[in-house]
Chain A
Amino acid sequence: MRLAGRRIRSLVLLLAVSAACKEKTEAAAPAGTTARIGAALSLTGPAAPYGATQRAGIQTAVEDINAGNALPLKLEVLIEDDGSTKEQGITVFQKFINRDKVSAIIGPTLSTTATAADPIAQQEKVPVLAVSNTSPTGITDIGNYIWRDSLTEKQVIPGAFKKAKEKMGFKTAGVLYGNDDVFTKAGYDVMKKTLDDLGVKVVDTQTFAKPDRDFAAQLTALTGQKPEVLVVSALADNAAAIVTQARQQGWTGPILGGNGFNSPAFIKNAGTASEGVMVGTSWNSASPAPANQRFLAAMKAKGANPDQFSAQAYTGVYILAEAIKLAGDKTGREDILAGLGKVKDLDTPLGKFSFTPSRDASHEPAVQQVKEGKFQVVE
């Protein structure tokens, strides 16, 4: 049933988009003056809370760049829904590559989707810039066309947990993670290793699946072992439900989250239950750097709520623009690939941005905690 529904939806979408694209190509200015980029974002499905803010970040960046005349050409970004699934992610990538003939692709939102869709781009030699994939393995190691501006769990969690332990001094932890998703599973692996390295004893580990709504049994089993802290790797919707149900069961201790918690949707849905939850983040919202202030102002002007995911998506567009500039304003797939290799110390909302030799992101992470209904940076 679901599959059929989605197929029909994507078919309608495809027809609508292809009609729209046709108009665009006919009206487009002479070749070479527009760089066409595809963005595969999760606008529906479990990752929809991230896709929505990613879209806002990308649109803001494109408008800024096109208005600012920083490039002698215009950026055109086509946004498509990957449905938070591998299957639809593959379909969207194929459409971008073969039909829209994009110069580069941004996305997809989830690491799970990326593991399925990125190999197609690698094979067709189309550069991909991931702006939210955080699984340490299985993304950029697909090949030399796959890049990312999002820090991996490995780069964020150890620092965040170390800081949390300094602040709260816990020695035992109960761990809950989603075992049907590449990102939440990867987050768990890093958490487990970090806790071991910090000398924190894991008293119990429980799992869940993305469609689950009821986490009471897992939470009771965990809190029954009397850990000092609860550690959770989950996507925003599940995270909100888990934190709410934990508080309902009377858990008053601290909760440490993974990257999935880094969304205003998490705080909105968990309400007061989210208070005190601590999480590592790639984006320091309080950074006074001019690039970050410019980003905050631009998002505010658009009426969008800035978060880590919109900051990373916004940065992604700027990185591609920089790559085009460094390639001598050429927009071919190979030109952009060469340009990406030259990006160094670019001023972005995430800080001074460079790529590592393995095409991953390199910049400073931060730690934030929910206080009075808002993420605040922990110094």
Chain B
Amino acid sequence: MGQQALNGVFVGSIYALFAVGYTLVFGVLDILNLAHAAVFMLAAFSALALVADAHLPLWMALPLAVLAAGLIGLLLERLAFRPLRGRADSNISGLISSLAMATVFEAIALQLFGPDVSRFPLGTFPDRLIRVGTASASLLQLCIIGISVLLMALLTFLLARTRLGRRLRAVAESPRAARILGVNVDRTIAAAFFLSSALGGAAGVLFGLAFNSISPDVGRSVELKGLAVIILGGMGSIPGAVVAGFALGLIEVFTVARFGSSLRDAVSFAVLFVVLLARPRGLFGQAAVREA
């Protein structure tokens, strides 16, 4: 049981980290960024290239890949979202242009890295087992949980306590009011994309390290899960995404333990369905007031 709980917390931390970035952009822009999973994938490949080809140590490759993901996020915002902003139908067209960018990113990865599964070289991270009560975890898994929680805490602090956080919340509330109050809306939105993509990228690198199989379609394994998590948590709610991320990880793991692996996704999505019936706004969602 202890081992299963640990397994659940572990996948949950990656789901949560991925979903937090996903929901941040939704909270600010009201737009689903469907290229989020592609950024996740590109960051994993960037870290791989830095470690395997540039022979950088992992502690340098990880922040660099996260930075690269953030920059890709800026590019994404500039190409797929900013040109459409202000149009009447910008919600739908933004959704579609982000889908286009996802396809472009995937095609680029396909060209650069090929369709096969790529892996970090053996020994990229020291292979050590640690006993936690009755369960055992690798040092890598514990580090991944630690890094995810740290990044989510940092984001929460940033949103609550810093000037940028205040601006983000203001834009999420009402872009027009924020602009009247002197907030540079375009730059704030760009910052949201940078943060969102950096977090999604971090999740990608950690996922790549954890399961050590990266391919251009690796984002698909979290894309739908991430969407489920932000709906479950309440669209745009950061605490909701964190709670729902861990919850989904644990539900999946205990479904496997209790009912068998064939029912894993069925149970996860049934829970999502029931929550939506009982609470259409999700666990932490609010009707009119949206928090970033």
Q: Name A's B-contacting residues (CB within 8 A).
A: 1-2, 4-5, 44-45, 48-49, 179, 205-208, 211-214, 216-218, 220-221, 224, 237, 241, 244, 248-250, 269, 271-272
Contacts and interface: CB of A to CB of B under 8 A. Distances in A.
Interface stretch (B7-15, B45-53, B63-71): B7-15
B75 to A, nearest CB: 19
Contact of A5 (B103, B117, B119, B253): B103
B115 A2 contact: no
Contacts of A220: 3-4, 7, 253, 257
A233 to B, nearest CB: 14
B174 interface: no
A249 B3 CA distance: 9
Nearest to A44: B115
Contact of B260 (A4, A206, A250): A206
Contacts of A1: 99, 102-103, 106
30 contacts: A1-B99, A1-B102, A1-B106, A44-B115, A206-B261, A207-B260, A211-B217, A211-B220, A211-B221, A212-B221, A213-B211, A213-B213, A213-B221, A214-B11, A214-B210, A214-B211, A216-B11, A216-B253, A217-B252, A217-B256, A217-B257, A217-B264, A220-B3, A220-B4, A220-B7, A220-B257, A237-B213, A241-B211, A244-B212, A271-B122
A83 to B, nearest CB: 9
Interface size class of B (residues with CB under 8 A): 35 or more
Contact of B116 (A4, A44, A207, A248): A44
A249 B107 CA distance: 36
Interface in B20-60: none
Interface of B: 3-4, 7-8, 10-11, 99, 102-103, 106-107, 110, 115-117, 119, 122, 127, 129, 136, 138, 141, 207, 210-213, 217-218, 220-221, 252-253, 256-257, 260-262, 264
Given A207-B261, A207-B262, A217 B213 contact: no
Contacts of A248: 127, 129, 138, 141
B117 to A, nearest CB: 5
Contacts of B8: 217
A223 B204 CA distance: 29
A149 B116 CA distance: 27
Contacts of B122: 271-272
A224 B115 CA distance: 36
Nearest to B138: A248
Nearest to B215: A237
Nearest to B256: A217
Listed from nearest, the 3 A-B pairs whose CB atoms lie closest are A217-B256, A213-B211, A216-B7
A216 B257 CA distance: 10
